[in-house]
Amino acid sequence: DLHGLDAVGTWSYYQNPFVGTVQLRGLIVLQAMLGNSDLKDDNNALYELEEELEGADTWYVSRDLGHTFGRTGVIDAPRGDIEVFEETPFITGVVNGRVKLDWRGRHDALLEDITAADVRWICGRLDKLTDRQWNDAFRAGGYEKALADRFIRRLKQKIAEGLALKE
């Protein structure tokens, strides 16, 4: 349920109006940053609005983040595990101008063309979140403060790592 709206369908990472944009690549980087390898179309909802809201009449929403905060992978990847999340690298290198992220999953083709600019773009936006916004998000997710603080600390480390990337 999103503002009382009903989803009218799903959308694909491979076929949508944002393919090839920094915004979609930024979303993919965010998914990797969160440790989410469950990038199925079923987890993406499409909402059509009766009236334009926030400049759009259609919203493309990525939802169902139940497979996050651990390590990515298809089989038996740890989820919601703070120790694994803290220990798992974010960026593993840059090869031929493409950023290599510590990510495993069925849709690894989505991560093939990620550039340093893409990573800096999403990290720049995340870096603007206030401590209150971070805390509110984790509280809404039902996380105890001490555990939320650890997840937030690691996410901020990843953001700093992304902002420091050079071309």
Q: Could you report the per-residue pLDDT of 134-146, keeping only the tens digit for each?
A: 999 999 989 999 9
Going by pLDDT thresholds of 50, 70 and 90, the confidence category of residue 128 is very high
Would you call 78 helix, strand, or coil by DSSP? coil
For residue range 29-44, what is the model confidence (pLDDT) as tens digits? 999 999 887 888 988 9
Distance CA 100, CA 97 (A): 10
Q: What is the mean pLDDT of the chain?
A: 90
Going by pLDDT thresholds of 50, 70 and 90, the confidence category of residue 27 is very high
